[in-house]
């Protein structure tokens, strides 16, 4: 046995070589599979948007929106203008390029002419950069709303540094600008990046007012055509979604209003699901936890579920084998 083992160890490179001889064959099989009709590949010269670069832009813009918080170097009165200017200069091109790549990718794929892609890319980047002061103002209201409603927040700075809700809302407020300008891919790459980081899934199409707060946030879903007013607060696991979809829903319902409207000053507690494009939650209403709503609610209404009855028993019964009752 130990001789065998020794022999095996010595021959490790030769085992590797034996298997590696198949690499050309494996490679050709993969390439052949790329030629099959309907196969998803992006094999052509036109550049495509880069997820990695879009993620870089999300974090770099965050440093412009909350100056000094996320830099490793100090930002002070003496270098402020240089650093902000340098950052704007670099990011402006980076964002414009990604938008241009996205527009061209679609032009190419759908055989459209690509006359204005460059101009449109820069034009859209300009719109976003010009919006930064207003974005800063709105995000300030969001930070205040997060603080005012959360006893566990020890400072506004802690919220900016670490709250997933603020990161998700920040990313949404950037992504929705690009979405409204009909930039392909990038808004959704941004929002799905924030979803990955925070567990909060806000489609870039959603419209959301000032002073929006999401606490904890994991499992929150806010659909494409949702409309949310001012000073709304939601908790983990809240879905603002579409009603059930017929089998061909993808094509039939694309672009239609499918998600609810939440008016000003509404609070929605954890685990609640509100569905449907005609569902309106009236201003100042409070929706309790674990509610399932598919109908409108008038303003100033409190909605709670009649909690399911609980059964209490001695937990000794669990010691019986295969007790499955309480799962």
For a second copy, the binding residues in 17-36 under the rule CB under 8 A are: 18-20, 22-24, 26-27, 29-34, 36
- The least CB distance from residue 184 to a second copy, in Å, is 7
Distance CA 79, CA 71 (A): 13
Query: Binding of a second copy at residue 296 (CB under 8 A)?
Result: no
- The least CB distance from residue 47 to a second copy, in Å, is 6
**Site size with a second copy, rule: CB under 8 A:** 185
Contact partners, residue 210, CB within 8 Å, separation at least 6: 138, 141, 142, 230, 231
CA within 13 Å, CB half, 148: 12
From residue 86 to residue 115, what is the string marking binding to a second copy with x (rule CB under 8 A)? --xx--xx--x--------xx--x---xxx
In the range 258-277, which residues lie near a second copy by CB under 8 A?
Answer: 258, 269-271, 273, 275-276
Q: How is residue 285 annotated by DSSP?
A: -
- The least CB distance from residue 210 to a second copy, in Å, is 14
In the list 58, 103, 160, 174, the residue contacting a second copy (rule: CB under 8 A) is 160
Contact partners, residue 48, CB within 8 Å, separation at least 6: 42, 101, 102, 105
CA distances 182 to 103, 128, 171, Å, are: 9, 13, 17
In the list 122, 138, 180, 264, the residue contacting a second copy (rule: CB under 8 A) is 122
- The least CB distance from residue 227 to a second copy, in Å, is 15
Q: Do residues 125 and 99 touch, judged by C-beta distance below 8 A?
A: yes
In the list 236, 263, 280, 281, the residue contacting a second copy (rule: CB under 8 A) is 236
Q: Tokens 């130990």, residue?
A: 2
Phi-psi region of 99 (alpha: psi -120 to 50; beta: other; left: phi over 0): alpha
In the range 203-222, which residues lie near a second copy by CB under 8 A?
Answer: 203, 205, 216, 218-219, 221
Query: Binding of a second copy at residue 44 (CB under 8 A)?
Result: yes
């Amino acid at each position: 046995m130990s001789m065998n083992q020794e022999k095996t160890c010595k021959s490790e490179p030769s085992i590797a070589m034996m298997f590696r001889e198949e690499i050309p064959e494996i490679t050709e099989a993969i390439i052949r599979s790329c030629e099959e009709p309907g196969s998803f590949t992006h094999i052509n010269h036109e550049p495509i948007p880069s997820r990695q670069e879009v993620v870089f832009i999300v974090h770099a813009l965050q440093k412009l929106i909350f100056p000094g918080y996320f830099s490793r170097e100090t930002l002070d009165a003496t270098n402020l203008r240089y650093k902000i200017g340098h950052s704007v200069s670099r990011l402006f091109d980076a964002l414009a390029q990604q938008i241009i790549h996205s527009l061209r990718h679609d032009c190419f794929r759908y055989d459209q002419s690509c006359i204005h892609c460059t101009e449109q890319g820069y034009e859209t980047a300009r719109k976003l950069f010009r919006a930064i002061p207003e974005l800063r103002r709105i995000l300030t209201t969001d930070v205040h709303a997060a603080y005012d409603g959360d006893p566990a927040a020890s400072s506004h700075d802690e919220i900016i540094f670490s709250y997933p809700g603020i990161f998700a809302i920040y990313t949404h407020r950037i992504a929705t600008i690009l979405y409204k300008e009909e930039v392909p891919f990038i808004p959704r790459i941004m929002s799905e990046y924030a979803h990955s980081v925070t567990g909060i899934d806000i489609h870039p199409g959603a419209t959301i007012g000032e002073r929006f707060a999401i606490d904890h946030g994991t499992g929150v879903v806010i659909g494409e055509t949702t409309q949310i007013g001012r000073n709304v607060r939601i908790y983990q696991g809240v879905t603002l979604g579409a009603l059930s979809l017929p089998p061909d829903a993808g094509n039939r319902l694309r672009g239609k209003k499918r998600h609810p409207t939440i008016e000003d000053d509404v609070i929605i507690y954890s685990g609640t699901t509100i569905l449907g494009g005609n569902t309106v939650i009236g201003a100042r209403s409070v929706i309790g936890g674990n509610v399932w709503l598919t109908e409108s609610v008038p303003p100033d209404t409190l909605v709670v579920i009649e909690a399911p009855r609980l059964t209490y028993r001695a937990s000794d019964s669990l010691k019986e084998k295969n007790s499955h009752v309480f799962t």
